[in-house]
Each structure stands twice: as C-alpha cells, then as structure tokens.
Structure 1
C-alpha cells in the first residue's frame, strides 16, 4: 500500500504520514508512533472521525490496530496543508492563494467546525485547529484533519471537564490553561480558528519571538492597532479595494473569535454569517486583553 514507505508526506510527534495506494487510488497513511502513551490519540481519532461526513472534514477510509502497530488511512490531499501557503509564501510552492481563495478557505473551515459542533449527533471538540491541520484538495477545498486531541461530548453539554491542558502554543484558548477565564467548551475551537484566521491574513505566525519591538511580538495586538488606524494590513503587498475589504473582514472576525472570555466569542454559525455580510454590518471588537501563553500549554505534535 505504501510502496515500502518510500514517499513520506510529513512527520510529527504522533507519527509519520506516507503516500500510498488503495485500490489504485492515492491515500495518506498515518503510522502512529508506538511510544506514544496508551493509544489514546488513536482511539480519539477513530472515534471522532468515524462519526463525521462533511465536505470540510477529511475522510477516514480505514484503520489498522494489530499488536503494537496502529495506522490510519485517509483520503489523499494533493495540495497538502494550509501552513505552507501562508508562511513564507513561495518557498515550498509556486502557488499563491488569492484573497478570494483565502476567504473561501476560511468559510470552508468555519463550515467544517460548525458541523463538528452542532451537525453531528455527538458534538466533537477538535482542540487543535491550526494551519498545519487544515488540508487542501485539488481545488483548494479545506478539510479539517488530525483528531488526536479531540473530545466527544453530548450536544446539550455547554461546559466539559478536562484533566489536562491540550492544544498548540499560540492557538490554545486562555481557558485551556487557566479556568479563571471560563469553562472549556466548543468556544475553545472558535479561539483557535480566530488565531488561524489572523495568520491567514498576516502571512505570519501569531507569535514572533524574533520581533524587533515588543509591540510586534504578538500579532493580534499589532494588527488591531493597524485596524484602528486604518493602516495597511499587509505592508509587504499591494492590495486593491476588494482585497483590502476581504482582509479587513477576516481580521475583524478573527479578533472577535479570540476574545479572552469564551462568552464574548461568536459561535461558528455566527462566524459564517459574519464572513458573508457587508462590512457596514461588522462592529470592531474590543482589543484582546492578553497574549497567548508562550510556554503554559505543551505544544501538540505536528502529525
């Protein structure tokens, strides 16, 4: 199936992903590390994704659990993950995503998250939404992947109990590392989505440890000040009026999503609506009160 594991697509803490073939169709085979705990991430992934069926959620074609070996077989996404298109554009690919592409991708991810939160019989909280976990097919249709940190809960449960913090540095919501900010819920995914949206517009990670000035260290604060001043949101690129409107819309929605307290964040249904309404209908959100912790939450593996 994997041609002796010759074509490696990626590697992370949870395992290695190879390109393979199943019935002459290309697939992605994720081989999970044998050393990783008691297989919780494998069980999470299978239990979560087998309950889904949505155009913006990656399709699990099969899995194998034999002895200590664990493997997941997914549909193959020819354009890889979103991160390579928004960081250091052009370094890994010659394809540049237009602002309309980015807007459509943002809406697609929002639709996928809305489905996970309210479209399934059992609500699925992903807990690791980030560009690396968004895969793109031939037509750049986005698909949410990597459910290793996901948690299932009843739809009527608004707040869930968790014994451990989970997520990736820069994307984990404040309540995941300090319960004083509020309870953990689907709004934690909304926060991660908002951070990703800001990165899609800014073309950089939301925390820049190499920034020359403290004000540039945390991207949401930097972009909020530019939004207030009406300054260019992408000083490194020339944008026409329509592109500037798309960028500002995505920034405003992103800033609403990363509000410090969960109750101040919109639902994903509201996010979809905000991404489609006229700019005049969008209100500027309050400035985020704090930056994401740099070392408080263990970074999840990039698998």
Structure 2
C-alpha cells in the first residue's frame, strides 16, 4: 500500500505517517505507531473515539491494522498537510502565507468540528490536543481535526470529568488540565486550546517565544492583547489592509476570550461560532490574560 514506505508525510513521538494508495487508486495517510504501551493505549483511544464521528471537519478513519505488535491507522489523505507549516512557515520550501479569508475559513471549520465533538455526538468527545499540528487541510483548505490519541469519551450530561494525569501539549493545554487542583476539567479545556491556536493563526508565531527581545513579548497572548488595545497591526512585520485587519481583530478577540484562565469565563464552542460570525462592533473586549509576563509601559489604550 505504501510502495515500501516510499513517501513519508511526517514523524513524531507516536511514530511515522506515510502516503499510501488503496487498490481503487484513492490516496490515504498511513499512521504507523511505535511499539510502546502508551501508543497501545492511544491506538485504542483513537479508534474508539474517532469511529463514533462523522463530520466534514473531522478527519475520516478508513481502517486500521491490529496484528501482533503492529498498530496502524489508515486515514483519508489531506493534500495540504497540517496547518502548522502555514502558520510558522518553516521548512526547506517557501510556503506562501494564507489569505485572511482562508484563515477565517479554517478557524470556523475547526470551531464547528469541536462543537460537533462536544454536542453533536451521542457520546461527548473531548480532544485534549487541539493545536496547529493536529489540524489537517485538504486541497481546498477545508480543515479537519485529527489525532484523537489523547481524546476522552464522556457522557453528555457530565460537565466535569476525572483525569488521572495531565495530557496535551505545553502551550496549548488549559491550566486545569496541567493541574486538576486549579479547576475542573471539561469541554472548556478544548476551548482554551482552540483559543491559543487562534491567536497563533493571527500572529503567525508560536504562543511562547523564548527568543523575544522583550520580556513582555515572551508570553504571546499578553503581547497581542496589548496590540489590540493600541489598535496596532496584529501581525508583526506584515501590514494588512483594513478589511483583513477586521478579520484579524475578530479572531483575536475570540481567541482571548477562549484562553481566559478560569473555565467558566470561557465561551462554549457554540458561542465561539456565534462570535466569529458577529460584527467586530458587537464583540466585547476580553480581559487581559491572567498569566502573563511583565509589561513595558505603553501609551494609548482605546480605539476611536
């Protein structure tokens, strides 16, 4: 199917993804997991959760292999790869930036996919690893949520779930996921991760920048909140026209609401979709993120 593993699409701690082709000529992505106990758990988790889904913004699992120590997942092929390479634009080849219309389209698609996982399935699915790397794009840049290895199934009538250990990726995981004594873990934890990803899509950089020249720029949400208050372009070194800036501001406001420290201050994904569809004038300015770096003094704090 992979022609002896000829084309490698990606690699991570879980294993390697190869391009394959079915007997009918359809291209697929074949995810081969490393042989570890943790990956055994993630394999079962992924099959159990994603097999319950059917949504245009959720990647389709076409099949799997469980033979001896082999753990293989077969997914629909996504020709544009992950969102990550388009946001950070790092790699050997030159990648053109996404238009703001496409950025908005991707944001809305991921929001609708998450809203479906939280409310549209018979069993609520919490993803716990929403980040650009796990958002795949097809040939029309339609986004699909992938990698359900850390997902958790829970009854729809339960708002708070129990967790034995932290899960997710640093920088995207909500405070309550990293420390369950902080607050209860719920679907609002995915909202936090989505918000952090949204801010990265606007800023075109990772949410934590250890190489920043000023301490106030290390924690990105703090930096972008300040620029929003000052009515400054939200993407550094890249001027954008007023129509694009309106989209950027709307995405930033929604993203900052999503990453509020306490879960009850964050919107649901249904509310996120409504906010994304609203006019900029109807959106309330979110509070400054609680967890932030020291700031330099700035002049000006409101827009005319």
Give 2:204's aligned residue: 203
Please give the alpha-carbon distance, in whole angstroms, between the structure 2 residues aligned to 1:141 and 1:24: 22
Q: How many residues matched? A: 292
Q: Is 1:181–1:260's contact at 8 Å kept on the other side of the alignment?
A: no
Q: Deviations over 1:192-251 (max 9, x none)?
A: 000000000000000001111110101000001111111121231121111000000000
Q: Is 2:45–2:148's contact at 8 Å kept on the other side of the alignment?
A: yes
Please give the alpha-carbon distance, in whole angstroms, between the structure 2 residues aligned to 1:91 and 1:228: 36
Q: 1:177 to 1:109 in 2, by over 3 A?
A: same
Superposition map of 1:50-69 within 5 A: 50-69=51-70
**More RCO (CA 8 Å, sep 6+):** 1
Please give the alpha-carbon distance, in whole angstroms, between the structure 1 residues aligned to 2:93 and 2:248: 23
Q: Is 2:110–2:143's contact at 8 Å kept on the other side of the alignment?
A: yes
Please give the alpha-carbon distance, in whole angstroms, between the structure 2 residues aligned to 1:235 and 1:95: 16
Q: Is 2:89–2:95's contact at 8 Å kept on the other side of the alignment?
A: no
Q: Is 1:86–1:199's contact at 8 Å kept on the other side of the alignment?
A: yes
Q: Which runs of 5+ in 1 are unaligned?
A: 293-303
> Secondary structure of the residue that 1:271 maps to in structure 2?
helix
Q: Say if 2:137 is the partner of 1:98.
A: no
Q: Is 1:84–1:93's contact at 8 Å kept on the other side of the alignment?
A: no
Q: Is 2:33–2:39's contact at 8 Å kept on the other side of the alignment?
A: no
Deviation, 1:38, is 6.4
* TM-score normalised by the chain length of structure 1: 0.94
Q: 1:91 to 1:278 in 2, by over 3 A?
A: farther
Give 2:246's aligned residue: 245
Give 1:300's aligned residue: none
Give 2:6's aligned residue: 6
Q: Is 1:258–1:265's contact at 8 Å kept on the other side of the alignment?
A: yes
Q: Is 1:48–1:150's contact at 8 Å kept on the other side of the alignment?
A: yes
Q: Say if 2:13 is the partner of 1:16.
A: no
Give 1:285's aligned residue: 286
Question: Over aligned residues, Cα RMSD in angstroms?
Answer: 1.3
Q: Say if 2:28 is the partner of 1:31.
A: no
Q: Which runs of 5+ in 2 are unaligned?
A: 294-304
Please give the alpha-carbon distance, in whole angstroms, between the structure 2 residues aligned to 1:148 and 1:156: 23
Q: Is 1:90–1:96's contact at 8 Å kept on the other side of the alignment?
A: no
Give 1:162's aligned residue: 163
